[in-house]
Amino acid sequence: MDLSFGPEYERFRAEVRDFIESHRHLAPNTMALRHKSVLDWQRLLIDKGYAARTIPREYGGAGLPTDILKSFIIGEEFAAARVRAGIGGQGIHMLVPTLLELGSEEQKRQFIPPTLAGEMIWCQGYSEPGAGSDLASLRTSAVLDGDEWVVNGQKIWTSTAHLADWIFCLVRTEPEAPKHRGISFMLFDMKTPGIEVRPLVDMTMERNFNEVFFTDVRVPKAQIVGARGEGWMVANTILKNERDTLADPNQAQARLNSLVELMRSETIDGVRVIDKPEFRDRLMRLQGRALANRFNDLRNLSNRLGGRADGALAQMIVKLQGTELRHDIEGLAIDVMGETGLAYGSNPYLRDKGSWQYQYMYYLGLIIGGGTSQIQKNIISERGLGMPREPRPHPA
């Protein structure tokens, strides 16, 4: 099997490595949104074609031709160097591709440039208290009143809602239609009167989620993406893009490399942890899973190069395997540190600023987010492998 990309792409890989080496001192060491160093780094990456690479210049991107292999190499090299590859999040990774595919020209010009620049932060209004895995059961309503929609309802598990400027939200505009129809995909300003955001503290002990309440929120009629009542199709486009971002094999490999370094530095009774057979065996199993993810990623890459779409099942496999792998990598690191691995928060004995403990909790949440592992397994088995549907209890 020849996994080399050829001379042209190896020259490009060298260019990327040279850029990272000469500019890594400019990469931000903070995750704070809107921080000057973050915005400056994003602008530099776009100018160099390492972020927003194929998005047209008129929408704030680099405007370069599509080259799947070059984009793949950029992701590999930034992850291997452990240098932040620009801004991500729900706006850039999820909404921007959807607007490029389904948005109006006015929506593209209004929303894409400030989102790419990191100046417009988005949150996603999907889940509700009674509509999680069965998202099509959502009840948040939007009623047309002249040239405005009047929105009422509630969303939950809304990441970054307390920081967001705008929300992309699923609302029911046709209450008499079947549940997968009559849903519209709407954009509105989070400063609109009638929106209340309440924090939800998650397992990381931080406010990553929120619940959002809408009371007579008035939204301009034109702020629907796609056709009225066809938001379920738009939502599935978003979910496809979301799954692609939840389990990057390059990031998993970079994290695994950090785990190896930790195991070489930690000792038990004077013996390096990596020299302990029971820990080394666990590491090798994780390395095998990381390689499987890597080769599956290359298979998907080959499909795209051949003009064959990955399909939803391929993305579900990546999401399922990738999030569980990351959780297990962080879990082994905690075990490697022994009792120090139980430290959290402001404990003075924390290793790596507590990142292992934080990511362990965070990825436990991502196993649920974007479709739980149980849901992913059901869809993969039934639609991908042709297995019988899960038995349903007969009504009483």
- Could you tell me the maximum CA-CA distance found in the chain, to the nearest angstrom? 75
Q: How far apart are CA 373 and CA 367, in angstroms?
A: 6
Say how many C-beta atoms besides its own lie within 10 A of residue 200's C-beta: 15
Taking CB atoms within 8 Å and a gap of at least 24, the contacts of 65-73 are 68/301, 68/304, 68/305, 69/5, 69/9, 69/301, 69/305, 70/9, 70/12, 72/301, 73/5, 73/9, 73/12, 73/13, 73/16
Active site residue 176: no
Contact between 160 and 89 (Cβ < 8 Å): yes
Out of 76, 128, 211, 242, the active site residue is: 242
**Strand partners of residue 152:** 141
Q: Shortest CA distance to 358 belongs to which of 208, 243, 254?
A: 208
DSSP 338: G
Give Cα separations from 323 to 290, 298, 354, 361, 367 (angstroms). 11, 18, 19, 12, 6
Q: How far apart are CA 197 and CA 293, in angstroms?
A: 38
DSSP E strands in 76-140: the ranges are 122-125
Q: How far apart are CA 389 and CA 339, in angstroms?
A: 44
What positions carry a catalytic annotation?
242
